[in-house]
C-alpha cells in the first residue's frame, strides 16, 4: 500500500499522552494510506551522580542503566497498545526511540525532515507540565519551530469530530483546506464548516489622522459599502473553491457549510466562539495569515487559538 499521509506522534510516559494518541487512532483508523510513527525521546540518567549518591558499584550502576533503557522501551509498548486498542491498524504504525534525548522537539523535527513526514502531533500537556500552564514545553517549542510542517495539538476531552476550517483572504487558505481534506475527508458523518471573520474596515477607508476622509461621512460610508461588497465577493469565491476541494476529496456535499460574519470581539476570539457554539471538535487553521510576522515563529491569531482553543485537535498548517 502506498503511504500518502504520515503522522509523527511524540509520546511520553503519561496517561494524557496515551489518551491523546488513542484519540488520534480512533479518528484516523478508517483513513487510507496513512502511517503513524510513534516517537519517544528518553533522557539518560546521570549515572556518575547516581552512583555517588547511592554508593552504587559499577555493576549496580550498569543494571540501573539497563532498567532505564527497558523502561523507555515500555513507554513505546504501552503507546502501541493504546493505539491498537483504538482500532488503528497495527501494521500501519512504527516506533522510534532516541536515547540521550535532551531536546524532544528538535529530535522530532529532525526525524520528520529525514523521513519526509509532513505532520507532527503531540498532546497539549506532557508528564512534566505544570498544571497551570496552557501547554507543555515540548508542545510550545514545536509551535514555534515547526514552520514547515503541520502541527496537531491534541486534547482528548472533546470527542466531537465536526471540523471547523478557518478561511482567510490569503493563499495559505488552500493549503489549510487541502490538509483538512486529506486527513479528515474519511469522516463521512462529520460536518465541515468553512468559517471566515470579516475584519474591521481597512485603513484605506480612513485618512492619516484616523478620522473620516475629507469627502465627508456619506462618501466614507460609500467606501465602506464598496469595500465590504468587494471583500465578501472575494471570500465567497474562496469558499466555493474550498467546498469543491472538500467534495472532490470525498466529503459529502451536504456536510459542507460556509459561514462568515463581521468581526465582533476579535478574529481569534470570534473563531473560538464559533468553535465552541458550533459543536466542533477539530479546528484547522493556517500558521500565518496575510501578514508575515517575522518576530515570532507563528502568527498572532494562530498563537492565540493554539493556547486557548479547547478542541479535540487544533491543526496549524504551514
For the chain, which residues make up each domain, given as ranges? 1-156, 160-313
Domain 1-156 in this protein, CATH class:
alpha beta
Is residue 109 predicted with pLDDT exceeding 70? yes
Residue 294 DSSP SS3: coil
The reply to whether 1-156 and 160-313 are identical in fold is yes
The per-residue pLDDT for 211 is: 45
Percent of the chain having pLDDT more than 90? 46
pLDDT beyond 70 at 180 = yes
In angstroms, the CA 300 to CA 316 distance is 12
| 34-77 pLDDT tens trace | 999 999 987 765 555 555 555 556 666 566 566 666 777 889 99
More confident residue, 194 or 159: 194
The sheet that has 163-166: what strands, in order across it? 93-99, 34-42, 5-10, 119-123, 150-154, 313-317, 282-286, 163-166, 192-198, 256-262
pLDDT at 256: 97
Comparing CA positions, the residue from 250, 315, 245, 273 lying closest to residue 24 is 315
CATH superfamily entry for domain 160-313: HUPs (3.40.50.620)
Residues 6 or more apart whose Cβ sits within 8 Å of residue 162: 190, 191, 192, 193, 278, 279, 280, 281, 282
pLDDT greater than 90 at residue 262: no
- Considering the entire predicted model, what is its pTM? 0.84
The pLDDT score that the predictor gives to residue 296 is 44
C-alpha triplet 38, 41, 46: angle, nearest 5°: 155
Give the C-alpha separation, 216 to 219, whole Å.
Answer: 6
Strand-pair category, 93-99 with 34-42: parallel
Residue 224 pLDDT exceeds 80: no
Amino acid at each position: 500500500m502506498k503511504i500518502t499521509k504520515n503522522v509523527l506522534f511524540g509520546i511520553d510516559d503519561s496517561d494524557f499522552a496515551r489518551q491523546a494518541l488513542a484519540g488520534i487512532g480512533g479518528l484516523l483508523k478508517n483513513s487510507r494510506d496513512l502511517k503513524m510513527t510513534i516517537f519517544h525521546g528518553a533522557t539518560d540518567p546521570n549515572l556518575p551522580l547516581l552512583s555517588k549518591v547511592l554508593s552504587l558499584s559499577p555493576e549496580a550502576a550498569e543494571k540501573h542503566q539497563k532498567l532505564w533503557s527497558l523502561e523507555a522501551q515500555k513507554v513505546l509498548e504501552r503507546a502501541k497498545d493504546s493505539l491498537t486498542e483504538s482500532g488503528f491498524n497495527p501494521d500501519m504504525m512504527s516506533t522510534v526511540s532516541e536515547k540521550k534525548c535532551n531536546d524532544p522537539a528538535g529530535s522530532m523535527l529532525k526525524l520528520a525532515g529525514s523521513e519526509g513526514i509532513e505532520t507532527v502531533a503531540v498532546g497539549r500537556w506532557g508528564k512534566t507540565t505544570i498544571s497551570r500552564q496552557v501547554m507543555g514545553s515540548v508542545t510550545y517549542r514545536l509551535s514555534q519551530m515547526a514552520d514547515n510542517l503541520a502541527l496537531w495539538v491534541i486534547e482528548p476531552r472533546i470527542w466531537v469530530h465536526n471540523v471547523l476550517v478557518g478561511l482567510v483572504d490569503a493563499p495559505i487558505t488552500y493549503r489549510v483546506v487541502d490538509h483538512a481534506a486529506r486527513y479528515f475527508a474519511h469522516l463521512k458523518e462529520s460536518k465541515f464548516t468553512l468559517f471566515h471573520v470579516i475584519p474591521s474596515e481597512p485603513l484605506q477607508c480612513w485618512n492619516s489622522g484616523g478620522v473620516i476622509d475629507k469627502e465627508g461621512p456619506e462618501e466614507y460610508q460609500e467606501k465602506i459599502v464598496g469595500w465590504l461588497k468587494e471583500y465578501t465577493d472575494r471570500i465567497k469565491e474562496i469558499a466555493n473553491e474550498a467546498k469543491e476541494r472538500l467534495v472532490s476529496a470525498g466529503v459529502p456535499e451536504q456536510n459542507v457549510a460556509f459561514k462568515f460574519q463581521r468581526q465582533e470581539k476579535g478574529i481569534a476570539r470570534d473563531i473560538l466562539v464559533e468553535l465552541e457554539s458550533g459543536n466542533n471538535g477539530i479546528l484547522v487553521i493556517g500558521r500565518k495569515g496575510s501578514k508575515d510576522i517575522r518576530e515570532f515563529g507563528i502568527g498572532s491569531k494562530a498563537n492565540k487559538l493554539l493556547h486557548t482553543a479547547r478542541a479535540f485537535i487544533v491543526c496549524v498548517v504551514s
